[in-house]
C-alpha cells in the first residue's frame, strides 16, 4: 500500500518552486492564483527571498503548502495515494491529496492559520527545542516538573522529541534535560511555541474559518497528528485540525499505525524531500521511502 506524506515548517529552502514555475504552465497558473488568494506575491519570496524572509510564519506556511501541492499536481504519473499524512502544517496538503479540501480553500485556511499563530506568538515570548538521545517518558517527566509552560510538541522519531513552551520554560528544560544526559538539547529558530497551550489564542480564528469552509469526506484514510488515527469523515477531520494547534504532533505513532495497517511505501511530496524520510528510517520500519 502506497502513502503520500507531506512536510511542514522547516522544510522550506531558498528558491523553492522556481523550477516548477519555469517548467510547467499549470504551475505558473497555480502560483498566480496563490498570489491573488494571499494578497501578496509569495512566488517572489519563494523564488528570490532570503532564508530569513522564508522563515516568517505568514510566508513559511503557505510556501511549504504550495510547494507540496504544486509538486503533486504537476508530477506526471503521480498516481493516487492509498493513505496520506502530513507533519503539522503538512496535514493541509494531505487533505488536498485526499480530496477533502480544494486547493483554494486549503490555501485560505493555511493563510488564516499562519496569521493566527503569528498573533499568538506575539502575545508571549516563547520557543521550541529539539531533544535528542532521551526516552520520551524522561523528557515528558522533566517538562512536567518545571513550573512554567513547557510540553512535548513533536514526537518525530524514537530519541528525538521537540518541546514547546515559554522562553523561560524552554531554557529550564534544556538545562535539566542536558543534565539528564540528552545528546543534544538545542533551542530552535522558530517564531513561537507551536503545538502547545500557548497557541490557544489562535484556535478561535482558525475554527471560525474551518466552519465556513466546505470539507468533503476523504477519498482515502488520512492519519491525523492529534491521535495518529485514520480518518475519512469530514466532521472528524475538521475537529482534529483545530485541536492540532495546541496538541502534540504524534508522528512516530502515525508512521507505526500506517505500517501496521499495511502501508509499505512512503512518498514524501514537497520540501527538500528528506525531512520525513529521515524520521521514518529512524522509526525503524523496514519500508520503502522515496520523494516526488
Q: What is the pLDDT of residue 285?
A: 64
CATH numeric code, 2-122+197-291: 3.40.366.10
Q: What is the pLDDT of residue 143?
A: 97
Give residue-wise pLDDT tens across range 97-118. 999 999 999 999 999 999 999 9
Q: What is the pLDDT of residue 72?
A: 96
| Catalytic residue selected from 68, 164, 195, 231 | 195
Q: What is the pLDDT of residue 10?
A: 84
pLDDT at 73 over 80: yes
Which of residues 216 and 273 earns the better pLDDT score? 216
Q: What is the pLDDT of residue 190?
A: 81
Residue 36 exposure: Cα atoms within 13 Å on the Cβ side: 8
What confidence tier does 204 reach under pLDDT thresholds 50, 70, 90? very high
Percent of the chain with pLDDT over 70: 99
Q: What is the pLDDT of residue 56?
A: 85
Give residue-wise pLDDT tens across range 20-42. 999 999 999 999 999 999 999 99
pLDDT at 65 over 70: yes
Active site residue 247: no
Percent of the chain with pLDDT over 90: 88
* Ranges in the chain annotated CATH 3.30.70.250: 125-187
Active site residue 88: yes
* Ranges in the chain annotated CATH 3.40.366.10: 2-122+197-291
Distance (Å, rounded) from C-alpha 265 to C-alpha 251? 16
- 43 and 31 Cβ atoms separated by less than 8 Å: yes
What is the average pLDDT score of the chain?
95
pLDDT at 93 over 70: yes
The CATH architecture annotation of domain 125-187 reads: 2-Layer Sandwich (3.30)
pLDDT at 254 over 90: yes
| Catalytic residue selected from 88, 111, 196, 231 | 88
DSSP 249: B
pTM, to two decimals: 0.95
pLDDT at 149 over 70: yes
Amino acid at each position: 500500500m502506497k502513502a503520500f506524506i507531506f512536510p511542514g515548517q522547516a522544510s522550506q529552502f531558498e528558491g523553492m518552486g522556481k523550477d516548477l514555475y519555469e517548467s510547467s504552465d499549470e504551475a505558473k497558473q497555480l502560483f498566480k492564483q496563490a498570489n491573488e488568494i494571499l494578497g501578496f506575491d509569495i512566488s517572489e519570496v519563494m523564488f528570490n527571498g532570503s532564508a530569513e524572509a522564508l522563515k516568517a510564519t505568514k510566508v513559511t506556511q503557505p510556501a511549504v503548502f504550495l510547494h507540496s501541492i504544486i509538486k503533486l499536481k504537476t508530477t506526471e504519473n503521480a498516481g493516487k495515494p492509498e493513505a496520506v499524512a502530513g507533519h503539522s502544517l503538512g496535514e493541509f496538503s494531505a487533505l488536498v491529496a485526499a480530496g477533502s479540501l480544494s486547493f483554494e480553500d486549503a490555501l485560505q485556511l493555511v493563510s488564516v492559520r499562519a496569521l493566527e499563530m503569528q498573533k499568538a506568538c506575539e502575545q508571549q515570548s516563547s520557543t521550541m527545542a529539539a531533544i535528542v538521545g532521551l526516552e520520551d517518558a524522561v523528557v515528558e517527566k522533566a517538562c512536567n516538573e518545571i513550573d512554567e509552560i513547557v510540553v512535548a510538541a513533536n514526537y518525530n522519531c524514537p530519541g528525538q522529541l521537540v518541546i514547546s513552551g515559554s522562553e523561560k520554560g524552554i531554557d529550564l528544560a534544556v538545562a535539566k534535560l542536558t543534565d539528564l544526559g540528552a545528546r543534544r538539547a538545542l533551542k530552535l529558530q522558530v517564531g513561537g511555541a507551536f503545538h502547545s497551550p500557548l497557541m490557544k489564542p489562535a484556535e478561535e480564528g482558525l475554527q471560525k474559518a474551518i466552519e465556513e469552509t466546505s470539507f468533503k469526506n476523504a477519498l482515502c484514510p488520512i492519519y491525523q497528528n492529534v491521535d495518529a488515527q485514520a480518518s475519512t469523515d469530514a466532521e472528524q477531520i475538521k475537529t482534529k485540525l483545530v485541536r492540532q494547534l495546541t496538541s502534540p504532533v504524534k508522528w512516530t505513532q502515525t508512521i507505526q499505525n500506517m505500517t501496521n495497517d499495511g502501508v509499505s511505501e512512503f512518498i514524501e511530496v514537497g520540501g527538500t524531500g528528506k525531512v520525513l524520510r529521515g524520521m521514518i528510517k529512524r522509526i525503524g520500519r523496514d519500508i520503502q521511502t522515496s520523494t516526488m
